[in-house]
Amino acid sequence: MAEPPGTPQDASSQEPQFRAVLTPHRSLGPKGFMVLMGAICVVSFGTGLMFFLMGAWPVIGFMGLDVALIYIAFKLNFRALRIYETVDLSPEALTVTRVAPNGRPQSWRFNPYWVRLSLEERVGRTSELSLVSHGTRLVLGSFLTDPEREDFAAALRAALSAAKGSRLTGKF
């Protein structure tokens, strides 16, 4: 049955109570990339010119190949950095959406009352943050640093606790 016009709907069922967007760290921006590639080109050209003047002219081609390979490697790295994850917590669900570098989204939905957040410290490796519920385990934020992962885990744990507490009292 439809609501009569002008009847306010429950806002808590419409908007997420917790929302986070997780993105990888990008230490080199577009301007920095252009400066770096310019410096690599200048050094490569200077070295190639030196070898050309000494009579070893085939070296110029290899110096150009080095520049091209470095450029391709950076472009592939920038493409991989387009991944991101969104985490939305509402009274009904905890939804995690991962968007791959090609733009294809994949979503998982958990009941906030039953989901368990796990931050596992691993010796010699980075920690691992995961959500576990009813046999389903989802690792998230794998591209975050350990301190970022710990901060996010604390924030999500607090939001889940608040959601569980309000669900028991009937308020969200």
117 and 134, same domain (yes or no): yes
20 and 101, same domain (yes or no): yes
66 and 116, same domain (yes or no): no
Q: Is residue 7 part of a domain?
A: no
Q: Is residue 5 part of a domain?
A: no
Rounded Cα gap, residues 24 and 46, in angstroms: 35
Cα 151 to the center of its chain, rounded Å? 15
Q: List the domain range (segments joined by +) for residue 39.
A: 30-80
Contact 89, 159 (CB under 8 A): yes
SS3 for 40?
A: helix
Per-residue pLDDT of the chain (172 residues; tens, 9 = 90+): 444 444 444 444 556 688 999 998 888 888 999 999 999 999 999 999 999 999 988 888 888 899 999 999 999 988 888 889 999 998 889 999 999 988 899 999 999 889 999 998 877 788 899 999 988 899 998 888 889 999 999 999 999 988 877 655 555 4
* Number of domains into which the chain is organized: 2
**Of 49, 64, 80, which residue sits at a domain end?**
80
CATH number at residue 109: 2.30.29
Q: What per-residue confidence (pLDDT) applies to 167?
A: 57
Per DSSP, helices labelled H in 2-145 are 30-53, 59-80
What sign has the CA pseudo-torsion 139, 144, 145, 146? negative
Rounded Cα gap, residues 95 and 54, in angstroms: 64
